[in-house]
A and B are shown apart, each in its own frame.
Chain A
Amino acid sequence: MKALITSWLTVLLLMFSGLAQANLTIEITRGSDRATPVAVVPFAGGEEFPEDVAQVIHDNLERSGYFDPLPRRQMLDRPSESDEVRYGDWRGLDVRYLVVGRASREGDGYRLRYELMDVSGERRMLGEVVTADQDELRGAAHYISDQIFEAVTGIRGAFQTRIAYVTSQGVGDDMQFTLYVADADGGNSQQVLSSREPILSPAWSPDGRRLAYVSFETERPAIYIQDLASGQRVRATSFQGINGAPAWSPDGRRLAMSLSKDGNPEIYVMDIASRSFDRVTNNSSIDTEPAWSPDGRSLLFTSDRSGGPQLYRHDFASGEQERLTFTGGYNARGRFSPDGESVFLVHRSSDGFQVARQDLDSGRLVVLSESHFDESPSVAPNGTMVIFATRQGGDGVLGAVTADGRASFRLPSASGDVREPAWSPFLN
């Protein structure tokens, strides 16, 4: 557990002046109890900007679990370009990587110049000029965060992605439900739909342009598909009974879902263009919460055919359905990791409901979250983090944990109960 895994990664780097490329070998220490120390110096010239770009980058890197950013008050000086950096000072603060930059206005927008330095090697690894429109300052900060994250870890950053989530207020017959889309850090939220009837199970299309979700706005559940840019939407299904748990196929052409039109909930796959249905399950138990494997060859789903809810996998080629989970009496709502090697799920233990990860090869299940009411895990497209719904002081809030469980955080909550986060695919 305490052993540190050291991996060497060769990273292709974009140099600041011109587009010269150089191969560098970077050492990353990925310890179970240690994140890489980094310092993000406040950008010179950006003090009056509506967003503190360096702070956004600092927060992104910290939440990733891979980095431990130095608090600003501990910084001995505040260089704004690589030539001003006194590496010995930063080494003395145990900083491994350093981010500096300069911000200025350009027309109606902004111009941001940043550089990333390897402190021990006293080398610049990355440098770039980014221009942003007036309302895209945060977006630019997320872009820079992605470049830094990938340069150091070798893993594609997911800071420019978004999350969908649902809020609810009120109780009983007097409730208001709202579906939002926001930046992955919770900022820049936009309302997609608001209703006095329940909204649940938002799911992103693989191209990130559409959301499928369940809405009770007709006082019956129905699955809708909404285009986010135009707001236009279609009702995909409105059968008698449950219309639930929509899940997009990786090619974006099909939706898996749970329908109870034939008496009890079964998994179906709908071809979106033709509206034709293939039935995947056929028994008297509950079958719901489908999720596609990344290769599209199988479906994960929850079934209580063994008595309590457990995860099963349906293989499309063979038609066979295999039980995957055996640890404990309640394992539900699974989601594959992007590499398809593990699943994230809701697991019930003596401590309540928690988010867990099960390795598919070994079958080993690891609990990742620490609260008693955790549910709805959704995996970042780069597989590094899982966002989920939890409770804080009785209110529903969103939490996130690294895929290995070593770091976790909570997202700033809007008003009311927040739940059912869905992490978008890569959008850039």
Chain B
Amino acid sequence: MQLKPYARILAVALSLAFVAGCSSSGGTQDGSMDGTRSGSGSGAAGSGVSGSQVGGTGFGSGNGTASQEADGRIPEQRTIYFEFDSDRIRSEFESVLAAHARYLSENGSTRVVLQGHTDERGTREYNMALGERRARSVERFLSVQGVSPSQIEVVSYGEERPAARGQNEDAYAQNRRVVFAY
């Protein structure tokens, strides 16, 4: 029982290293600040940070989702959120992604659409591209965990479908997201 979490930590850390390595072509920038590429561009920092946090907070919810998987249902949490200027998977959502990866692996005929969204800052078509980058970041995570590419489709909505209205950081944070649509 002690070993299993560490095996999963390793898997998650490897996934993150792979994801970070793939997303080397610039950050997901909702209204990029000054052209800085904090976050996703720096692969080492991305995996390092997540590796250290997984063992801490990440697995409380991980156990919860594991019990959901046991009865074969789609994991309940279907939205994950992103930092400003980033397509990096935040550590608190790794367990959510792992639960979806497991569900999809165990249900090989199930398909999911990963809907990528950005906040409203910046131009619309450029944000369309940034939303796609965010959804592809999730797609890579799932692929590394063994989900077949044929089960996943990426659709970016850019800034067109905000979850919250308003020109403030609270609304922006709710809008920077990827939704699992089964």
Contact = CB atoms under 8 A, between A and B. Distances in A.
A421 interface: no
B105 interface: no
Contacts of B25: 264, 283-286, 304
A245 B120 CA distance: 17
Interface in B114-160: 120-126, 128-130, 132-133, 153-158, 160
Interface in B61-108: none
Interface residues of B, number: 38
Q: Dominant SS at the A interface?
A: loop
B170 interface: no
Given A171-B164, A264-B25, A308 B128 contact: no
A241 B154 contact: yes
A373 B160 contact: no
B42 interface: no
B47 interface: no
A265 B132 contact: yes
Contact of B35 (A171, A284, A302, A307): A307
A329 B32 contact: yes
B53 interface: no
A19 B15 CA distance: 79
B1 interface: no
Contacts of A265: 128-129, 132
Given A201-B124, A288-B126, A289-B125, A309 B166 contact: no
Contact of A332 (B37, B122, B153, B160): B122
Nearest to A285: B25
Interface residues of A, number: 51
Interface string A247-268: 0000000000010100011000
Interface stretch (A26-34, A104-112, A151-159, A214-222): A214-222
A330 B163 CA distance: 25
Interface string B7-43: 0000000000000000011100101111111000100
Contacts of A286: 25-26, 126, 129-130, 133
Nearest to B155: A220
A231 interface: no
Given A307-B35, A330-B35, A394 B155 contact: no
A96 interface: no
B138 to A, nearest CB: 15
A344 to B, nearest CB: 12
B26 A285 contact: yes
Contacts of B155: 219-221
Given A244-B125, A309-B126, A198 B32 contact: no
Contact of B124 (A305, A307, A394, A420): A420
A172 interface: yes
B169 to A, nearest CB: 14
Given A175-B161, A177-B160, 7 more contacts: A200-B160, A244-B125, A285-B26, A288-B126, A309-B29, A328-B34, A328-B35
Interface of B: 24-26, 29, 31-37, 41, 120-126, 128-130, 132-133, 153-158, 160-167
Interface of A: 168, 171-173, 175, 177, 198, 200-201, 216, 219-221, 240-242, 244-245, 258, 260, 264-265, 283-286, 288-289, 302, 304-309, 328-330, 332-333, 346, 348, 353, 372-373, 375-376, 391, 394, 419-420
19 contacts: A171-B165, A175-B161, A198-B157, A198-B160, A216-B157, A240-B153, A241-B132, A242-B128, A242-B129, A244-B128, A245-B125, A264-B25, A265-B132, A284-B25, A288-B128, A302-B123, A306-B35, A308-B29, A348-B33
